[in-house]
Each structure stands twice: as structure tokens, then as C-alpha cells.
Amino acid sequence: MKHQTEQLYLYPVWIRIWHMTNALLCLLLIITGLSIQFSNPQTVVKFNAAVSIHNIAGIFLTINYGLFFLGNLFTPNGAYYVIPVKGFFDRLMKQFKYYTIGIFKKEDAPFPVNEESKFNPLQQVTYVVLMYGFVPFVIISGWGLLYPEMTVYSIFNISGLDLTDLLHITAGFGISIIMFVHVYFCTIGKTPTSNFKSMINGYHESH
């Protein structure tokens, strides 16, 4: 039977602008962040330049996050980020089984994309943890490092600044890992490039 391609408009223009800016800034922050962390005279981006670019990109990331936060607060897109508590683990396990077994047996996805739910349960949890956990955390700790006088002097005998630094690096590392996994999972669509096209033209392609 020939499948008919269905087009759903799921990515409004503000989400696409936010996402493109966010992805580029995150890449820049990862490259400069690593250059600061593993600084030596041969590093691709020199230490002083890396610090300046990292700080400026961080400020833009904060402003851009404001767009995401307000957009989700005041438009229907925010509803996709509300996780229904009932049956939460069952739904997660169903999706997990699909990704580990079902997909290789060419089974149908247990949570097909539609206007009511554009994310599957695993995707939804990842995006919520990423966008309401890791990203605000990396932003707040980053501002703490930019204005060290704002951080607490010491907690349990550990310097507040060292702790903020450690938490910032851990969150940044977490976002980097999630980003790789995210891009890999985005290749699982109608075709390997379908989801990337969606983030450009706004339309999700499904059978």
C-alpha cells in the first residue's frame, strides 16, 4: 500500500528562530568552553578570545532562553512540555522498548506524532529536563561566574566560586552529551533528514 505523506505544522516560526540561534550558540559555547578548560598555547581558540566569546555567547543564550520561556508560557507550544503524571513510567517503558526492539522489527511507533502530542514520552522528558533544568542551571551558574561577588563565599568549607564552577562545567557537559544524543534521535524520522527539514519549514512529515 502506498503511504500518503501527512504534513503537520508543529514548529511555529518563533520556535525555529529560537532553536537555530540556540543550537549555534551552544556549539560556540561548547567549543570556547573546551578551549578555556583545556587551554594551552596550541588551542584552536586562544584563551583570552575564548573567554570573551564565551561570555558574549552566554549573554545572548540568556536572552534567547527568555524567548523560549515566554513563548512556552504564552503560546500553545507550552502544552507539549506538560507531562501527564498518570501512566508516566508505562509510557516511558513503551517508548524505550520501541527504540530498543520494535523499531528494528519495523513496528509502528507507539506514540505517533499528532497535533495533541508532538513529542514521544522519552523526547518529552528529555526536553523538559533540558530546557527547565540543565539550560537555566548552566545560565544561572554562568552569571555567577561572570559576577563572582554574587556567589556565596563558602558552603561546607568549599569555596562557593569553585562549587559554582564545578556545577557549571557539569551542566555544560550534560548539555553537550544530550545534544549529541538529540541530534542522533532526530535522524529517526520518515527519512533521516525529515526532522531537520521540519525545523526549517515548520512542517512535520509523517506517514
Among 87-95, 101-109, 144-152, 176-184, which window interacts with ligand HEM (CB under 6 A)? 176-184
Least distance (Å) from ligand HEM to the CB of residue 135?
5
Interacting residue with ligand HEM among 131, 161, 163, 167 (CB under 6 A) = 131
Interacting residue with ligand HEM among 14, 127, 173, 203 (CB under 6 A) = 127
Residue 159 is a binding residue for ligand HEM (CB under 6 A): no
Cβ proximity to ligand HEM: between 182 and 190 the closer is 182
Cβ proximity to ligand HEM: between 17 and 150 the closer is 17
3-state SS track over the chain? CCCCCEEEECCCHHHHHHHHHHHHHHHHHHHHHHHHHCCCCCCCCCHHHHHHHHHHHHHHHHHHHHHHHHHHHHCHHHHHHCCCCCCHHHHHHHHHHHHHCHHHHCCCCCCCCCCCCCCCHHHHHHHHHHHHHHHHHHHHHHHHHHCHHHCCCEECCEEHHHHHHHHHHHHHHHHHHHHHHHHHHHCCCCCCCHHHHHHHHCEEEEC
Write the single-letter amino acid at 19. Answer: H
Cβ proximity to ligand HEM: between 77 and 159 the closer is 77
Cβ proximity to ligand HEM: between 26 and 50 the closer is 26
Residue 11 is a binding residue for ligand HEM (CB under 6 A): yes
Residue 138 is a binding residue for ligand HEM (CB under 6 A): no
Cβ proximity to ligand HEM: between 161 and 178 the closer is 178
d(CA 135, CA 128): 10
d(CA 181, CA 86): 27
Over the Cα atoms of the chain, what is R_g? Answer: 20
Residue 77 is a binding residue for ligand HEM (CB under 6 A): yes
Residue 141 is a binding residue for ligand HEM (CB under 6 A): no
Least distance (Å) from ligand HEM to the CB of residue 80?
6
Contact 192, 140 (CB under 8 A): no
Chain contacts with ligand HEM (rule: CB under 6 A): 11, 15, 19, 22-23, 26, 77, 80, 123, 127, 130-131, 135, 175, 179, 182-183, 186, 195-196, 198-199
